[in-house]
Amino acid sequence: MTTITATSVIRQRPTARLSARSKDPSLARRLPVLLLFLPPALLLFTIFVILPMGEAAWYSLYKWDGYGLPTQFVGLRNFEVLFKNSAFLTALKNNALIIVISILIQIPLAIWLATMLAHRIAGVVLFRLIFFLPYVLAEVAAGLIWRFVYDGDYGLFASAAHLLGVETPYVLADKDLAIYAVLAVVVWKYFGFHMMLFIAGLQSLDKSVLEAAEIDGASGWQRFRYITLPLLGSTVRLSVFFAVVGSLQLFDLIMPLTGGGPFNATQTMVTFLFNFGVTRMQVGLGSAVGVVLFVICVTLAFGYKRIFMRND
């Protein structure tokens, strides 16, 4: 007669689990696909992501103009120069300002419009298209269009000023107003993307919950505050994540609009990298900017996902 103890059962469980996994038919079917597609993907990721990141970190330790091999080792001197540069500090402040405006204005505006356009009513598709078109428009084209709109001599602002009989504002030439002009374009350009995210989220909600709240006498604000918004929590967190990461990488909208000027008033970290690192052939300094931008993006992305999107 064989005696089976609890200890023997516990010791046998891991072996049983391993044998079950090894006999899993789905794993055997997926293995050839993994062996076929994973190595090329890892190779491309290594060539186009890992190696450039490593090279940028290496070049940031040298004073190098991009010609020949970097030989003048300066250690962390590029980072010291970077954080003493007033233009770079302005770029950091502008990136932070864009993030704040995107979260406090762009996303609430998108939620507000989504609540009005999520219902199936006549003409709603046309309005969705109108609000979404700025996002479809290429960033360079949008920058050129708004540069003409803001033009103080021939643009729409100049025409409106002449009709009103007031002095024509040169918005993009004013170092105090230019960044706010850029922020207005950023909100106009990207709120349609967030609006479509919220429309998709609203259409996936259980309508019976809202109908029950309406029958119970809840007002429109109460239904939105206590039912709709909590149910949209995952969509809101995703939208904020996209807004933060996109704000840090803003480049191709600003270059045709202001080029980072006037007097570096509208620089972002990426435009600073281009203007001071690429254009002026200060590859070491530009690489240092890339390293700082990479660290900020990775820290915010993983920290945000870890704290706010842990259960999504």
For residue 166, the model assigns a pLDDT of 86
DSSP state of 312: -
Average pLDDT, the chain: 87
Question: Residue 285 is encoded by which pair of tokens?
Answer: 């300094």
Residue type at position 156:
L
How far apart, in whole angstroms, are the C-alpha atoms of residue 89 and residue 81? 11
Torsion angle (degrees, nearest 10) of CA 279, 93, 198, 124: -70
For residue 86, the model assigns a pLDDT of 94
How far apart, in whole angstroms, are the C-alpha atoms of residue 164 and residue 97? 31
Helix crossing, 283-307 with 51-59: angle to 10°? 130
How far apart, in whole angstroms, are the C-alpha atoms of residue 53 and residue 36? 26
Q: Is residue 269 within 8 Å of residue 292, measured between CB atoms?
A: yes
Which position has the token pair 């995107």?
102
List pLDDT tens digits, range 129-175.
999 999 999 999 999 999 999 988 888 888 888 888 888 888 999 99
* 14-18, 208-212, 244-248: which is most confident: 244-248
Q: Top-level CATH class of 79-307?
A: mainly alpha
Residues 266-290, mean pLDDT to the nearest whole number: 92
Q: Where are the domains of the chain?
A: 6-59, 79-307
